[in-house]
Every structure is written in structure tokens, then in C-alpha cells.
Amino acid sequence: MALPTITTIREHIAWSYANLARADAALEDGVAEYQRVHHIIRQRLYSGLVSGRMSMRSLYQDERLKMTMPQACYYCGSLDDLAVDHLIPRITGGADESDNLIWACRRRNSSKQGRDTRFTPGVNGLGRPSALRLDDRYIQHPLREERQADGRIRRWARVPEMESRALRVILLEDGETVHNAFFDRDFEE
């Protein structure tokens, strides 16, 4: 498939969005390299967006999840003394937009100072590992496992370092690739 000649802003935006859709489809399929079907998705979406037959999905679903998920510290799972934190700090150019905001307990938020969480080891130097660093230890020995309708696998484990909170790890169909991990305060053994 030949790449389109992009000359307008509308075409640039459509091409970028279509590339994201292709990448999302490949991730959902759990493949390391794009397959023919992923390129077809990109091409059809691009053509539909440029012609006006298709439109971009709103961020509604992502924002709805943020509002309905339990409010807990992103770094340690604490339910107490929460504040809104910027993943990329404002002092370094981070925006006051929903995709840059998370819940953080005041202790973790203030210990981070102006550092970017993407480059901060552990839990901002406090010596306690973050949920995303813990999940690998529990993938092979969960307390409970369920398969979702979409084929993804849910596993739960207690994390002693985090006051034995329950960590839920969502794996892709391959049983190895971590899709998501978070503390689940509604978990019952």
C-alpha cells in the first residue's frame, strides 16, 4: 500500500490518528510487528477521516474510566489524604489537562517535587516499589485468576510491602504482556 501524499492539516491529523488506530489494533492482537490487517485498518480509517465518512472517537471512554475507577494514590495505593498530581510537572511544561493528572497521596506528591514520574525510580526515592514494578512478582502465583470476555486475564495478589493491598494485574491473551495493574480495594478472597 502506497503512503498518501499529505498536504493539509486535516490530512496530517487523519494520518496521525490512523497510525494510532493501527498501533492500537496491533497491541490488542498482541503482535510485535504490524500485520497486513493493521495496515488495512490504517488506510481505511485515513480515507474515511479525510472524506468525512468517519470521525475520530472521543476521549469519553478514557475519561469515564478515570471518573469511575476507585480514587487511590497512583504510586502506593493509599486511600488517604489524596491530591491531584501532574505526571509531567507544571514546572517542566506539564499541562493542566486530564491526560496529565492522577491521584497521589500528599506524601508521594510532595516527595516527587519537580521530577517527571516517567524517569523517577521506585516510588520517587522513598524505597517502596511502585505497583507497576510489583506486578511481575505476582503474575505466576496469583491468589485468583479470571478470564475476561475479551480474552484478557485478570490476576490478583496481596502485596505485603503495601499493607497487603490487593493488586489486580490485567494480562493480554498471551498471559505474559501486562496491559494494566492497579490496587483493587474491592477484591475479596
The pLDDT value given to residue 85: 84
**If phi over 0 gives left and psi between -120 and 50 gives alpha, with beta otherwise, what is residue 27?**
alpha
Contact status, residue 87 vs residue 117, Cβ threshold 8 Å = yes
Q: Dump pLDDT digits (tens) for 137-180.
A: 566 778 899 999 988 899 888 876 667 788 888 888 877 776 77
pLDDT at 97 over 80: no
Beta strands 82-86 and 178-183: pairing type?
unpaired
Same domain, 114 and 86: yes
Residue 182 lies in a domain: yes
Residue range(s) defining the domain that contains residue 166: 129-189
Share of the chain above pLDDT 90, in %: 11
Same domain, 145 and 180: yes
Give the start-end residues of each E strand in 27-112: 82-86, 101-105
Q: Is 1 exposed, middle or buried (0-12, 13-18, 19+ CB in 10 A)?
A: exposed
Same domain, 93 and 112: yes
CATH code of 69's domain: 1.10.30
What confidence category does residue 41 fall into, taking pLDDT thresholds of 50, 70 and 90? very high
Share of the chain above pLDDT 70, in %: 72
What confidence category does residue 47 fall into, taking pLDDT thresholds of 50, 70 and 90? very high
Same domain, 133 and 118: no
Contact status, residue 122 vs residue 129, Cβ threshold 8 Å = yes
Q: Dump pLDDT digits (tens) for 59-69.
A: 666 666 666 66
The pLDDT value given to residue 175: 77
pLDDT at 129 over 50: no
Site of grid cell 504490524: 34
The mean pLDDT value of the chain amounts to 76
Same domain, 116 and 153: no
Separation between Cα atoms, residue 39 and residue 29, nearest integer Å: 13
Give the start-end residues of each E strand in the chain: 82-86, 101-105, 144-147, 153-159, 165-171, 178-183
How many residues appear in the chain? Answer: 189
Cα 117 to Cα 85, 104, 162, 178, 187: the distances in Å are 10, 12, 19, 19, 27
Task: Report the pLDDT averaged over residues 29-45.
Answer: 90
Q: What total number of domains does the chain contain?
A: 3
The pTM score is 0.37
The pLDDT value given to residue 4: 87
Q: Is 8 exposed, middle or buried (0-12, 13-18, 19+ CB in 10 A)?
A: exposed
Same domain, 117 and 138: no
pLDDT at 126 over 50: no
